Amino acid sequence: MSSDFVVTTKLAKPPQILYDAWLDSDEHSQMTGSPAKVSAEKGGHFNAWGGYIWGENLELETGKRIVQSWRTSEFTDDEEDSRIEVLFEASDSGGTKITLKHTNLPDHGAQYEQGWQESYFDPMKLYFEG
């Protein structure tokens, strides 16, 4: 059984601002409330949540899409990296719909669905919308 999932949220900021924040170490740290070191380059590496999460930028479409390999310290050495695809879609109201697809997860990966909401989307709403 696959643990793959999709989570979405809407924020009242344009896609480019959210995309840029995701790939900027200082802003990523501020919007999640936890230390992160990220790269805005294809092939660049990142780590977040004090080294709990790490991976590599696989594909980048400026302002629109980020694809990363992704794993946590809970992955075993024989488990492959999972993959996230983050889509930033402009809405008619001037905000953005963020869709995060998390695939290739190990059996214990279902827990990360709640983590994206609680550790990313909820703090991002507070950071960008106060």
CATH number at residue 35: 3.30.530.20
Contact 33, 123 (CB under 8 A): yes
What is the domain range of residue 82? 5-129
Count of domains in the chain?
1
- For residue 116, give the amino acid letter: W
List the pLDDT tens digit at each of the 130 positions of the chain. Answer: 468 999 999 999 999 999 999 999 999 999 999 999 999 999 999 999 999 999 999 999 999 999 999 999 999 999 999 999 999 999 988 899 999 999 999 999 999 999 999 999 999 999 998 7
Alpha carbon distance 44, 130 (integer Å)? 31
Question: Among all chains, which residue has been given the structure tokens 């050495």?
Answer: 77
How far, CA to CA in Å, does 62 sit from each of 2, 40, 78, 89, 106?
Answer: 30, 9, 33, 12, 29
Question: Among all chains, which residue has been given the structure tokens 């983050």?
Answer: 86
Alpha carbon distance 127, 65 (integer Å)? 21
Kindly state the helix (H) or strand (E) to which residue 15 belongs, with its residue range.
helix 15-22
Backbone phi, psi, residue 9, to 5°:
-155, 165
The pTM (predicted TM-score) of the whole model is: 0.95
